[in-house]
Structure 1
C-alpha cells in the first residue's frame, strides 16, 4: 500500500462521483474493484483475528453487501464456517452485488434473506464465539434508522463477538462522524480506497475501533481526479521544526509570556507555562494574579513572574522581549481578567488564545492572522454563537468557520482534534480517552506556544503540537492505562518526543 497519499480524506459525494473513473484509470471495472475490496477485508480479518473459525456476515442490498459476499466466499474457501444474512429480498440484489452473490450461491454457504430486520435480529442473537462482519450500509448511509434496524444493530453490538465493519460502521455518518441513534461498535473498521473524513473525528471514536485503510490500488488516481476534503496526520507526514544551531542561546530562541492564573485557577497557568518550558521555550514569563505568585514560584523555579495585573504588565520592561504570548489558561472572567485580555489581545506578538480568553474573544469583533485559537466544543460554540450540539454535528464546518471569522489557525479539540487555517483541515490521529482530565488543554497551549517560538509558523506549531500532545498521552496510557492520567504526567514524554523525533533533520 502506497503511503504517499494515504493521508488524504474525502467526502462521500467525492468517492461516489469518482470511484468508477478511478477504477477505469487503473484498468479494472467496478466488479473487479469489489473483488479487491473483499480480498482486502478478508486479509485484514485474518491478520487481526487469526484464531477466528466462524463468520457471520450481515449484508444490506447494496455494494457494501457485495463486499460481504466476496468475504464470505473467500472465508469458506479458507475453511471457515460462514453464515450470511441479507437484509433484503433475493430479487432486490442487483448490479455488481448480484454478480458477487451469484458466485457465492454455487458454494455450500448458508444464506438467509431476511427483508424484515426483526428476523435478522433473532438470527444474530443465536451467533456466538465468532466474528460478525458488518456490511449493512457502507458510505451512503445518512438520516435516521428505522426502529427495526436500531434493534438489529443493538443486537449486533450486544453479541459476545468481535465485530468488523466494512468501509464504515453501519449507522455512522461518513461525512460528519455523527450517530443519530445507534451504530455498529466495530473492533476493526476496514475502510476502502481512501479515508472518509467522518471516520476520523467526533463520535466516530466510539464506533470505529482499529481503523485500517486499504487503497485497492486506486488512491493515487483518485487524488488526481479530486481534491481531498481534509488530511489525516500521522508520524509519517508531520511538519517539523528546525534543529538548534550549536551556538544557540536563550536570547535568540526567545521569551514566551503566559497570561492567566486568576487566584482561583493557579494550576492552569502553571501547567501551560511548564509545558512551554518542556517543549523548548528558552525563557517563560508569567503574568498572574498576585495570590497565584507564590504557588507558581514554588512549583517551578525556572518561571519568571513578570507582572500581576494589566497595569503592571504594561509597565514591565520585559514586555519588549516577548516573542509569543499564551493568553487564557485560568484567566477567569473578572474585571482583573478582562483588563488583561483587553491589553494583551491587541498586542502584535504571535499568540495562543485559550480557555477564558476564547469566551471573551467571542464577545468581540476582533480578527487577527497572528494567533492560534484552541477551543473545545463549548468554547467553539461561544465563538460561533451557537450550541455545542451544532458544533459537534459538523466539526469540520465549525473549525473552518472559526478560522475564517477570527483569522489565524483554529484547533478544535476533542477526539480527532481538527486544525484549520480556514481553508485546509488536518485531523490528528493521536490521543485517548484518558486525556479527559483537568489541565490537558492548558498543557496543549504551552506546547503550541513553545513551538510557535521555535518555528514562527502557526500552522506548523498547531499541527505538531496536537500530535505531540496526544502521542505523549498515548505512550503513558500504554504503560500505565488511561484512568488516572494527569496533564502534568505528559512533561517527560513531551521533552523526549520533541528531542527524539521532530527536528527537521530527523523527520524529513
Structure 2
C-alpha cells in the first residue's frame, strides 16, 4: 500500500471525484457511513454518542456520522468547536442537514452527557502550527473520558505528513483514514495515538492511484523473500559473515549479533572481538568462530575471508576502534554499521553505496548534527537526508521503522513496545548480516530483516502474552515467523 502526504490526498481526491462523476459532498457522506460502520462493528451495544466537530471538512464528516447515528435511534450530542456560521462548502451542507434532521449543537463541554463512544472530528489533515486553545481543550476533554474515541481521518492534533505533534493529541481506539493512507499515521509518535488503523478508499481508490504516485509505501514481507535452498547446497553458498565488536566489558552486544547472524542462516559466522569474550562466546555458541582482534595476522586473514562485514556492536570509540573502523570503511565488501560504528561515522562522514546503516534517533541526530527532536519531528525527511549524505540503505529505527534506499521509503507496521529493551539493535544487526551474506542485496536484506525483527516480537507477544521481551527471545522464532509468513499474509 502506498502512503501519501495530506496535500497529495486533498488534490487527488478532487480529480478522482471528478473522474468518477461524483461530488466531494458524496465522498463526505461515504466517509460518514464508513465511520458509522466502524462504530456499529466495534461497539454494537453503543446507545449514546458524543461527536466533537471542528470548523473544516473533518467536522463535516462528523456531522454526517451524527446524522446516521440519530437515524439509527442512538442518543447523539454534537459539540462544535467554533462558530457554525463560519462553516463553508460541504461542511456547511453537512451541518445544515444535521439541523434539518432535528439535531442539536452545544458549544462547551459542561452540558455534555456521558456517552458510550466519542467521535473525534475536530482537526483533520490540514493542521499547521500550534493548536488553538479551543481545540486543545476539546482534545484534553476527550482524553479524560473513559469512553473510547474513534478519530476521523487522523487523531486531532497529529500532523498527517510526519506523525509528530505540537502539543495535545487525541488518544484514539480506532482511526479511519480515507482515499489515500496518510504517511504520518504509521511512524513516530503517531503509534501512540492512532490505535487500530482502518482504511477506506470511499470507492475511488483505483482512480486516485492512477492520479497520484508516491515513493513511500508499507513494507510488505511478501515482496521480500529469500530464495529457497536447494537440496544439494552447502554452507559455502550462504556467505561468510564477519562481525567486529565487543570491546572489554561490552561483549554481550557482539554475542547477540553473532547468534542472530548464525540463526538466520548465514553459511559461516565469525567474530573478531576482545580476548575476554572468546571463551564466553565459544561456551554459548560453539558454531561461531571467534578470534582475538589484537592478533593482527589472524584478524586480517578473517577479514579477507569474509563476504559480508558488520562493525559496531560493543565496539567502543577508542583509538583502536577508530583505526579498525577506518580500515573496514575502505573495503568494497557489503557492510552493516551499527552502534559505535555510527558514532565514529558521524565524526568522519563518508559515502558508501554498499552498506546498511541502522541508526536509532539519537545516532541519526549525531549523523546529521541536529537534535533528536528534529529527527522525530520529521522522520521521513531525516531518513532521506541520511541516505543522501551517507549512501547505501538506511534504517531509521523506532516505532514505525523506516527503510530508505535511493528514492524509496518503506514503513514497517510490525513491532510493539515490548521491544523497548537493551540488545534489540544488536539482534537486528545480526539478522541483517546473515541475510546480506545469503543475498548480497542490501535493500532486500534491510527490508526483510526489519520486518522479521519486529514480526518476531509481535508473534512472541501474541503467543505468550509477554509485555517485555529480552532481545535473545527473538532468536528462536526467526524461522517460525518466516514459515508463518509464507503461509499467511497476517502473522
Superposition TM-score, scaled by structure 2 size? 0.96
Per-residue deviation, 1:299: 1.3
SS at match of 1:501: helix
Per the alignment, do residues 349 and 486 of structure 1 end up closer, same or farther by CA in structure 2, a change over 3 Å counting? Answer: same
2:234 paired residue number: 249
Match of 1:121 among 109, 122, 129: 109
The separation in 1 between residues aligned to 2:483 and 2:66, in whole angstroms, is 48
Shift of the 240–388 alpha-carbon distance from structure 1 to 2, 3 Å rule, reads same
2:430 alignment partner, one of 433, 440, 446:
446
Q: Shift of the alpha carbon at 1:310?
A: 7.3
* Residue in structure 2 matching 1:368, options 321, 329, 352: 352
Q: Does 1:269 align with 2:272?
A: no
8 Å CA contact 1:240–1:464 kept in 2: the answer is: yes
State whether residues 81 and 134 of structure 2, in contact with CA within 8 Å, keep that contact through their aligned partners in structure 1: no
Q: Distance in 2 between matches of 1:346 and 1:327?
A: 13
| Shift in alpha-carbon separation, 1:46–1:108, aligned structure 2, 3 A | same
Deviation at 1:223, TM superposition (A): 1.9
Give the secondary structure class of the aligned counterpart of 2:110.
helix
8 Å CA contact 1:473–1:490 kept in 2: the answer is yes
Equivalent runs, 1:189-200 vs 2, <5 Å: 189-200=175-186
Deviation at 1:459, TM superposition (A): 0.9
Q: For 1:164, what is the secondary structure of its paired residue? A: strand
Whether the aligned pair in 2 keeps the contact of 1:399 and 1:422 (CA below 8 Å) is no
2:368 is equivalent to residue 380 of structure 1: no
Matching residue of 1:286: 271
The Cα shift of 1:66 comes to 1.0
Q: Deviations over 1:71-109 (max 9, x none)?
A: 111112222211111112232222111222222223243
Partner of 1:35: 29
Cα deviation digits, residues 334-357 of structure 1 (max 9, x gap): 123222212222212111110000
Q: Equivalent residue of 1:194, what SS? A: coil
- 1:390 and 2:384 equivalent? no
Q: Output one character per residue of 1:460-499: Cα deviation in whole Å (capped at 9) or x when no partner.
A: 1111111111110011112334533110001121121234
1:325 aligns with 2:309: yes
Is the contact between residue 287 and residue 313 of structure 1 (CA under 8 Å) also seen in structure 2? no
User: Which residue in 2 is equivalent to 1:203?
Assistant: 189
Partner residue, 2:128: 142
Q: Which moved more, 1:42-51 or 1:493-502?
A: 493-502
Match of 2:189, SS? Answer: helix
TM-score (norm 1): 0.93
Question: What aligned pairs does 1:58-457 form with structure 2 within 5 A after superposition?
Answer: 58-112=52-106, 114=107, 120-123=108-111, 126-235=112-221, 237-309=222-294, 311-316=296-301, 318-457=302-441
State the secondary structure of the residue aligned to 2:50: strand
Unaligned 5+ residue runs, structure 2? none
Q: Secondary structure at the match of 1:352?
A: strand
Structure 1 runs of 4+ off > 6 angstroms?
none
Task: Check conservation: 2:275, 2:291, Cα contact below 8 A.
Answer: no
Quote the Cα distance in structure 2 between the aligned partners of 1:506 and 1:16: 31
Q: Which residue of 2 aligns with 1:3?
A: none
- Structure-2 separation of matches of 1:506 and 1:28: 34
What whole-Å deviation, never above 9, does each CA across 1:119-168 have from its counterpart, x for those lacking one? x2334xx4434110000111111210133432221111010110110001
Give yes or no for contact 1:193–1:219 (8 Å, CA) kept in 2. Answer: yes
Distance 1:201 1:421 in 2: 17
